Amino acid sequence: MRVRRCDGLKGEVRVSGAKNAALPLLAASLLVERFELENFPVLLDTLYALRILELLGREVELLPGRVSVKGGISSVRIPYEISSLFRGSLLFLGGLLGAVGRAEVAHPGGCAIGSRPIDQHLKFLSHIGAEVELEGGFVKVKLPPEPKARAFTFDLITVTGTENALLTLAGLRGEFELHNAALEPEVLDLVEFLKKLGLEVEVKGRSFLVRSPGRENLKREVSHRTIPDRIEAGTFLVAGALLGEPLTVKGLEVSHLGAVLEKLREAGAEPEVLSPSEVRIRRVERPRALEVQTAPYPGFPTDMQAQFMAMLTLADGVSLIVENIFENRFQHALELARLGASVEVRGKTAIVRGVERLKGAPVNATDLRASAALVLAGLVAEGETVVGKIGHLLRGYEDLDGKLRRLGCDAELF
Ligand code: EPZ
């Protein structure tokens, strides 16, 4: 994508449905015969997920802004060619286990931000008595008719680990306690969906008390609406802190953005909450330097770390960014340095020394959120910036170039 220095972002932008909510919901659609999902984000990852559903035998119909899925399941095997394209493919392990009690999913593998092991996913399954076999890069799982245990505690907080456990439990009759669970809004949106199918789920702190009627007693038809994408919303709010004249971000969920709004205020931007779904933000002359620590929700999201680093490269002072979730999520620092940023990475800490200005240059995206950070930096850098390997961006942002052009910027995808 080519971006030129942008004088200002003026007007309003509406965020799309959340990719990381749509993916578990598409996996959960295996539990029902007929499924409708509104506010569906059309992105590479969600299109890959629809392809997986078709490979499993489902009929998929993609309509403007929504998708419908129906029909039976004729396969439980997800080939490496598609599961390796996106991490969200792992969620179809839980979807298949909940729906039919068996699954063969090629291990999606790691990506740029880390090795991303799945030990917690497998530990849960072994704990409930599933037969788990790792063979030729495939995870083959067969559930017992009844779980061998009625409680499990994750060793660490894992979003898709929690989601896979919930999807699996949806098919197993009876009560179950999940402890040390992830509480991301996308996880809780999946819980709301499963309640529509007939599950009872009580959330107490990081514990989920789940009671399922069993897969044969779940509701057959259900519709749902994807929650707004809090990371896309956060990305535009950072853009507004840099260039807003002002920028109004609509269709978001303010209650999902507490930590992000707090950090923007600390940086000197003054986001105005106009309603529970609308925030207006103006550019701040020079952001104040910050300390940012990524943490599981409701802490500061790791998926917003790169975007904040882009903003802090121009801050008045030295900022510290500590990445506590992934072991290798600072690759955008090297690319930002090509634009003139001063970032020093020491283990899980990045030291960002604010500079007066950035200068456009060709850079390469390394992962989804890094690509967004480079686009933000390109909008404030002098001259022209070309972000290469932009495929990463297309995985998680719907029509970002179009949205930026409509706000008065010169951004062109090629
Ligand atoms: C989800 O990934 C999101 N993806 C990620 O968003 C997000 O960055 C991440 O959660 C953290 O919020 C989807 O929801 C599809 P984790 P996930 O399991 O579930 C370690 C994006 O940009 N871990 O919560 O894979 C893991 O290595 C993507 O949209 C284990 O060690 O993340 C990581 O260090 C990027 N063993 C930490 O836990 C396991 O079995 C958190 O990972 C599982 C995870």
User: Of 5-19, 84-98, 99-113, 324-338, where does mean pLDDT reach its minimum?
Assistant: 99-113
Which structure tokens are listed for 367? Answer: 């992962």
pLDDT, tens digit, for every residue of 250-291?
999 999 999 999 999 999 999 999 999 999 999 999 999 999
Percent of the chain whose pLDDT exceeds 70: 99
Q: Which residues fall within 8 angstroms of residue 313, CB to CB, at 6 or more apart?
A: 336, 339, 341, 342, 343, 352, 354, 355, 358, 377
Q: Is residue 11 part of a domain?
A: no
Residues 73 and 123 in one domain: yes
Higher local confidence (pLDDT), 395 or 40: 40
Q: Is residue 222 part of a domain?
A: no
191 pLDDT higher than 80: yes
Whether 409 is catalytic is no
* Closest atom of ligand 1 relative to the 45 alpha carbon: 15
pLDDT, tens digit, for every residue of 312-346?
999 999 999 999 999 989 999 999 999 999 999 99
Residues 239 and 182 in one domain: no
For residue 364, the model assigns a pLDDT of 95
What residues make up the domain containing 88?
19-215
CA of 116 to the centre of ligand 1 (A): 7
Residues 209 and 232 in one domain: no
Pocket test for ligand 1, best of 116, 139, 164, 188 (most atoms within 8 A of CB): 116
CA of 160 to the centre of ligand 1 (A): 7
For atom 18 of ligand 1, which residue has the closest CA?
A: 158
* Closest atom of ligand 1 relative to the 156 alpha carbon: 38
Give the number of other Cβ atoms within 10 Å of residue 41's Cβ.
25
For atom 1 of ligand 1, which residue has the closest CA?
A: 159
Residues 398 and 277 in one domain: yes
For atom 25 of ligand 1, which residue has the closest CA?
A: 160
Residues 297 and 396 in one domain: yes
For residue 131, the model assigns a pLDDT of 98
For residue 414, the model assigns a pLDDT of 85
For residue 330, the model assigns a pLDDT of 96
SS3 content of the chain, % helix, strand, coil (to 5): 35, 30, 35
pLDDT, tens digit, for every residue of 344-370?
999 999 999 999 999 999 999 999 999
Residues 159 and 268 in one domain: no
For residue 56, the model assigns a pLDDT of 98
For atom 15 of ligand 1, which residue has the closest CA?
A: 88
| Interatomic CA distance for residues 239 and 316, integer angstroms | 17
Q: Is residue 8 part of a domain?
A: no
The residue out of 158, 191, 215 marking a domain boundary is 215
> Whole-model pTM?
0.97
The residue out of 166, 194, 215 marking a domain boundary is 215
For atom 26 of ligand 1, which residue has the closest CA?
A: 116
Q: Is residue 366 part of a domain?
A: yes
CATH number for the domain spanning 191: value is: 3.65.10.10
The residue out of 157, 181, 215 marking a domain boundary is 215
Query: pLDDT confidence of 107, banded at 50, 70, 90?
Result: confident
Q: Is residue 5 part of a domain?
A: no
Residues 302 and 357 in one domain: yes
How does DSSP assign 65-87, residue by residue? TEEEEES-----EE-HHHHTT-G
Residues 207 and 243 in one domain: no
Closest of 329, 318, 311 to residue 370, by C-alpha: 329
Give the number of other Cβ atoms within 10 Å of residue 376's Cβ.
28
pLDDT, tens digit, for every residue of 117-134?
999 999 999 999 999 999
* Closest atom of ligand 1 relative to the 114 alpha carbon: 27
* Closest atom of ligand 1 relative to the 113 alpha carbon: 35
Strand partners, 202: 209
Strand partners, 175: 211
Q: Count of domains in the chain?
A: 2
For residue 324, the model assigns a pLDDT of 98
Closest of 274, 273, 272 to residue 282, by C-alpha: 272
Residues 234 and 208 in one domain: no
- What rounded mean pLDDT belongs to the chain? 96
383 pLDDT higher than 90: yes
For atom 9 of ligand 1, which residue has the closest CA?
A: 159
Query: pLDDT confidence of 112, banded at 50, 70, 90?
Result: confident
For residue 115, the model assigns a pLDDT of 77
Helix, strand, or coil (residue 208): strand
CA of 157 to the centre of ligand 1 (A): 9
Residues 296 and 166 in one domain: no
| Interatomic CA distance for residues 36 and 167, integer angstroms | 18
For atom 27 of ligand 1, which residue has the closest CA?
A: 116
Segment 206-228 shows an average pLDDT of: 98
Q: Is residue 23 part of a domain?
A: yes
CA of 410 to the centre of ligand 1 (A): 33
For residue 395, the model assigns a pLDDT of 87
Pocket test for ligand 1, best of 156, 184, 305 (most atoms within 8 A of CB): 156
Residues 395 and 301 in one domain: yes
Let me know if 345 is exposed, middle or buried by CB neighbors in 10 A (0-12, 13-18, 19+).
middle
CA of 9 to the centre of ligand 1 (A): 32
From the list 111, 322, 334, 345, the catalytic residue is 111
For residue 110, the model assigns a pLDDT of 63
Q: Which residues line ligand 1 (CB under 6 A)?
A: 19-20, 23, 87-88, 114, 116-121, 156, 158-161, 182, 302-303, 325-326, 368-369, 396
CA of 272 to the centre of ligand 1 (A): 31
For residue 114, the model assigns a pLDDT of 79
Residues 97 and 174 in one domain: yes
